[in-house]
């Protein structure tokens, strides 16, 4: 469903040239749960940003459900991204002045779609935060805020979730709980999931583990 072919991403020139990605091929199948593991600076975030259409490759192409990103206009890519990809980042990026329900449903509303209340309630229940529906972000623990961020990523019913170090700011127990939820989301909603991590224990939770080093899979 999501494919990256011959991906390269170079920054700078001459002496300061950085080959953040240097020829990566990746194929993510429908409903697959993948982790990408590598040390700091190995190119993990760069790869995730390219796959999510947040940045352009220097070379290579990315195809989501048959659509080649490089053939799309900027607004078409924005719409594709909003409807088909859910992002989860290390920092939860919740809006402080909105409650949990508003945070989760805001992107759906921005896209001009009506919120499917039953689906949102199901997500909240699967993620174990039904009782926090009207809480404000500052009333939640880090782990709970990350669950809200996962719920928000699921709200538009995307086909794939891309998560960049989603457990990076959490203690071990909350990190494990968040990974349990990704497993549950993968099984319950049949979403493809890509989780980036530098932590072997986190990465082990996926069905398939890809190791990246110096911008290449090893």
Ligand X SMILES: Nc1ncnc2c1ncn2[C@@H]1O[C@H](COP(=O)(O)OP(=O)(O)OP(=O)(O)O)[C@@H](O)[C@H]1O
Kindly list the residues in this chain that would bind ligand X in the complex (CB under 6 A): 11-12, 18, 20, 38, 40-46, 198
Q: Minimum distance between the CB of residue 40 and ligand X, rounded to whole angstroms?
A: 3
Q: Minimum distance between the CB of residue 73 and ligand X, rounded to whole angstroms?
A: 24
**Cβ nearer to ligand X, comparing 39 with 204:** 39
CA distance 198 to 14: 29
Q: Minimum distance between the CB of residue 151 and ligand X, rounded to whole angstroms?
A: 24
Structure tokens at 82: 């909003």
Q: Minimum distance between the CB of residue 49 and ligand X, rounded to whole angstroms?
A: 8
**Cβ nearer to ligand X, comparing 46 with 105:** 46
CA distance 7 to 81: 19
**Cβ nearer to ligand X, comparing 44 with 205:** 44
Burial of 150 (0-12, 13-18, 19+ CB in 10 A): buried
CA distance 165 to 132: 24
Pairing of strands 33-37, 192-197: parallel
CA distance 66 to 56: 17
**Cβ nearer to ligand X, comparing 17 with 96:** 17
Burial annotation 33-69 (CB, 10 A radius, 16+ → b, else e)? bbbbbbeeebbbbbbbbbbbbeeebeebebbbeeeeb
Q: Minimum distance between the CB of residue 41 and ligand X, rounded to whole angstroms?
A: 4
Q: Minimum distance between the CB of residue 38 and ligand X, rounded to whole angstroms?
A: 5
Burial of 73 (0-12, 13-18, 19+ CB in 10 A): exposed
Helix ranges, 111-171 (H): 117-126, 142-155
**Cβ nearer to ligand X, comparing 8 with 133:** 8
**Cβ nearer to ligand X, comparing 20 with 155:** 20
């Amino acid at each position: 469903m999501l494919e990256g072919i011959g991906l390269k991403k170079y920054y700078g020139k001459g002496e300061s040239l950085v080959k953040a990605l240097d020829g990566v091929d990746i194929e993510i199948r429908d409903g697959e749960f993948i982790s990408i593991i590598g040390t700091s600076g190995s190119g993990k975030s760069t790869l995730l940003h390219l796959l999510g259409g947040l940045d352009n490759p220097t070379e290579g192409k990315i195809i989501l459900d048959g659509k080649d990103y490089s053939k799309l206009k900027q607004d078409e890519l924005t719409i594709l991204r909003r409807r088909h990809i859910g992002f989860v980042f290390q920092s939860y990026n919740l809006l402080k002045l909105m409650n949990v329900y508003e945070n989760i449903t805001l992107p759906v509303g921005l896209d001009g779609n009506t919120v499917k209340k039953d689906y949102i309630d199901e997500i909240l229940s699967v993620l174990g935060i039904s009782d926090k529906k009207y809480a404000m972000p500052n009333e939640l623990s880090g782990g709970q805020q990350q669950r809200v961020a996962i719920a928000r990523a699921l709200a538009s019913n995307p086909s794939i979730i891309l998560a960049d170090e989603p457990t990076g700011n959490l203690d071990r127990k909350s990190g494990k709980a968040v990974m349990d939820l990704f497993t549950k989301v993968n099984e319950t909603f049949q979403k493809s999931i890509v989780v980036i991590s530098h932590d072997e224990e986190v990465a082990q939770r996926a069905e398939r583990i890809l190791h990246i080093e110096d911008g290449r899979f090893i």
